[in-house]
Amino acid sequence: MENDATSVSSEGEGYRKIIAAAEKLFADHGFDAVSMHAIATDAGISKANIYHYFPNKDALYLAVLQSAAASLRALLQAAVDKSGTASEALHHFAVNHLQHLLARPRLVRLFLREMLEKGEPRARDLADAGLADLFASLVQILQLGQERGELRKDFDPALVTTMLLGANVIFFQSLDLLRQYPTVTFVDRPEEYDRAMVEVLLRGIRNRSEP
Amino acid sequence: MENDATSVSSEGEGYRKIIAAAEKLFADHGFDAVSMHAIATDAGISKANIYHYFPNKDALYLAVLQSAAASLRALLQAAVDKSGTASEALHHFAVNHLQHLLARPRLVRLFLREMLEKGEPRARDLADAGLADLFASLVQILQLGQERGELRKDFDPALVTTMLLGANVIFFQSLDLLRQYPTVTFVDRPEEYDRAMVEVLLRGIRNRSEP
DNA sequence: ACCGATACTGACTCGTCGGTCAGTCTAGCA
DNA sequence: TGCTAGACTGACCGACGAGTCAGTATCGGT
């Protein structure tokens, strides 16, 4: 045996092709809508070969989630930069974060899908683990800004963190939808969206000093 | 024939039981994970009977979405109250909106699921139609506030609308997740969350006059 | 009492699904 | 050259999926 779906280490050619195909299909259509045959075909191998690497469909799915979680986590964590003022850090993060979401839509959809699943926690913890760090980092940035006197002290950092992440996720999730609203001008210009979004947010939480 | 899945009118006992069961199961597990047999069992009827009302599984799904869209739309539209100041209207809406989301989690998940579907637009337009009204109403509230001088004129109403809806949706969507973060105190207190959220937002967009 | 239409069912077809298996092909090594 | 281990395959299996069908129960109108 080569891999029991709990290790996340380096693997051969076939293994990678399977993961890649599975990631694509699972993200686009969901677990139940994707057959092992479809994955095999997309990967250019035989269905039976998948079972050489993974004991069953669930294990494959889990492996995909794990691999996705790892790369997403690294990607997003890289957007955190605690240097400079809280305002700068927030803006910098927001733009980078959204950029990463838009660059890896499949990975993101994979986890958004997972969040909607009821009953089976499947691999909820995976998504959580990655997000927890991110969340904590942002909260920290805000707290620092509060201690420094740059930001007001009467707001909950976790709340604003939720708002900022939420604003980005909703933008990502509703792109197609927003595109149809005539009053919406910021689609196709995510940096512009984030600039304005952070501006509103900052005006709401910054201590009154500069105009 | 009784219904061709495009009319949304009053129907008999069996029809309602089928829709109810299907709505529950589809929302909890997704289209592909739910079998017609499961729906029939849950509704307490025979599988074949479903085909008396609906030509196939897709039609049933569509009917469920339609029914859900109708009630969600009515529910959410009722949260819009354009009287009073823009600040009041926004706060009032936010609280009511989130309350409705939390009260009808299945309907909401049904549409969030739909939004993640790639390729097949299935019934995307349905979700859209309902949301478009809502979106327009909020934008209108904000614009009115701008004209009255209550709100600043240098922000995009559509942006703030997105932020507000996004904040609520993300709260709804990430409840379980947020619950695990020790720094988050506002879970289980949605009104508190919305109060603080709208406060931040308003401070960001209100004209400086009152403290 | 009878009729027609609607509500409903159990038993079936048939395709596809996840998963297995017996065996081939290839590469490294003795 | 021969042996072995891992990579890989086509053919197959039982289970279960959507959808069909022939027929029965129910009921309002005549």
Over the stretch A126-168, which tens digit does the pLDDT of each residue have?
Answer: 766 778 888 999 999 999 999 999 999 999 999 999 999 999 9
Q: What 3-state DSSP class applies to B7?
A: coil
The number of domains in chain B is: 2
Indicate whether A178 pLDDT > 90: no
State the Cα–Cα distance between residues B47 and B51, nearest whole angstrom.
7
Cβ atoms of A22 and A14 within 8 Å: the answer is no
Mean pLDDT, residues B124-152 taken together: 86
A206 has which bridge partners?
A151
Q: Which chain A residues touch B131 with a CB distance below 8 Å?
A: 177
Q: Does residue B7 lie in a domain region?
A: no
Cβ distance of B183 and A136 shorter than 8 Å: yes
On the question of pLDDT at A5 being above 90, the answer is no
Cα distance between residue B58 and residue B115, in whole Å: 17
Q: Same domain, yes or no, for A101 and A126?
A: yes
Say whether both A137 and A179 belong to one domain: yes
**CATH code for the domain in which residue A43 is found:** 1.10.10.60
Q: Using the CB atom, is residue B52 less than 7 Å from strand C?
A: yes
Q: Answer yes or no: do B156 and B105 share one domain.
A: yes
Residue A42 falls inside a structural domain:
yes
pLDDT band at B100; cut points 50, 70, 90: very high
Report how far residue B113's alpha carbon sits from residue B120's, in angstroms, rounded to the nearest whole number. Answer: 12
Q: Do A91 and A142 form a contact (C-beta atoms < 8 A)? A: no
| CATH number for B153 | 1.10.357.10
- Whether A109 and A197 share a structural domain: yes
The closest alpha carbon to B203, from A126, A89, A155, belongs to A155
**Partner-chain contact B115 A177, CB within 8 Å:** yes
Q: Please report the pLDDT score of residue B73 as a whole number.
A: 85
In a domain? residue B50: yes
Q: How far is the C-alpha of B6 from the C-alpha of A64, rounded, in Å?
A: 39
Q: Nearest-CA distance from B117 to chain A in Å?
A: 6
User: Band of the pLDDT at B194, cuts 50, 70, 90?
Assistant: very high
A7, part of any domain: no
Pick from A59, A54, A65, A56: nearest CA to A123: A65
Q: Which of A96-105, A165-174, B75-84, B92-101 has the lowest mean pLDDT?
A: B75-84
Q: What is the distance in angstroms measured between the alpha-carbon CA of B50 and the sugar C1' of D15?
A: 23
Instruction: State the pLDDT at residue B145.
Output: 96
Q: Does B192 touch chain A (CB under 8 A)?
A: no
A53 CA vs D11 C1’ separation (Å): 20
Task: Note down the domain range covering A192.
Answer: 67-205
**Which carries the bigger pLDDT value, residue B57 or residue A5?**
B57
B152 and B83 co-located in one domain: yes
Is A32 part of a structural domain of the chain?
yes
Chain A CB within 8 Å of residue B159 CB = yes
Question: In whole angstroms, what is the distance from residue A188 CA to residue A190 CA?
Answer: 6
**How high is the pLDDT of residue A7?**
37
Predicted confidence band at A120 (pLDDT cuts at 50, 70, 90)?
low
Interface mutation vs chain A, best among B35, B163, B210, most A CBs within 10 Å: B163
Same domain, B23 and B114: no
Between B116 and B62, the higher pLDDT residue: B62
Q: CA nearest B68: which of B11, B24, B121? A: B24
Same domain, A108 and A171: yes
Q: How many CA atoms lie within 13 Å of A45's alpha carbon, on the beta-carbon side?
A: 20
Q: Which residues contact A103 (CB under 8 A, 6 or more apart)?
A: none
**Bases along strand D below 7 A from a protein CB:** 6-11, 16-22
State what percent of residues in chain B have pLDDT above 90. 64
Residue A2 lies in a domain: no
Select the residue from A126, A161, A183 to test the B interface by mutation, using most B Cβ atoms within 10 A: A183
Which pLDDT score is estimated for A210? 47
Asked if the structure places residue A148 within a domain, the reply is: yes
Q: Determine, for residues A186 and B113 on separate chains, whether the beta-carbon distance falls below 8 Å.
A: no
Question: Do both A195 and A154 map to the same domain?
Answer: yes
Q: From the Cβ of B32, is strand C under 7 Å away?
A: no
Residues B78 and B35 in one domain: no
Task: Tell me, yes or no, whether B86 and B130 share the same domain.
Answer: yes
Domain assignment of residue B61, yes or no: no
Residue A196 has pLDDT above 90, yes or no: yes
SS3 B206: strand
Instruction: State whether the beta carbon of B55 lies below 7 angstroms from any atom of strand D.
Output: yes
**Which H or E run includes B15?**
helix B13-29
Q: What is the DSSP letter of B210?
A: -
Residues of A in contact with B200 (CB under 8 A): 155, 159-160, 163, 201, 204-205
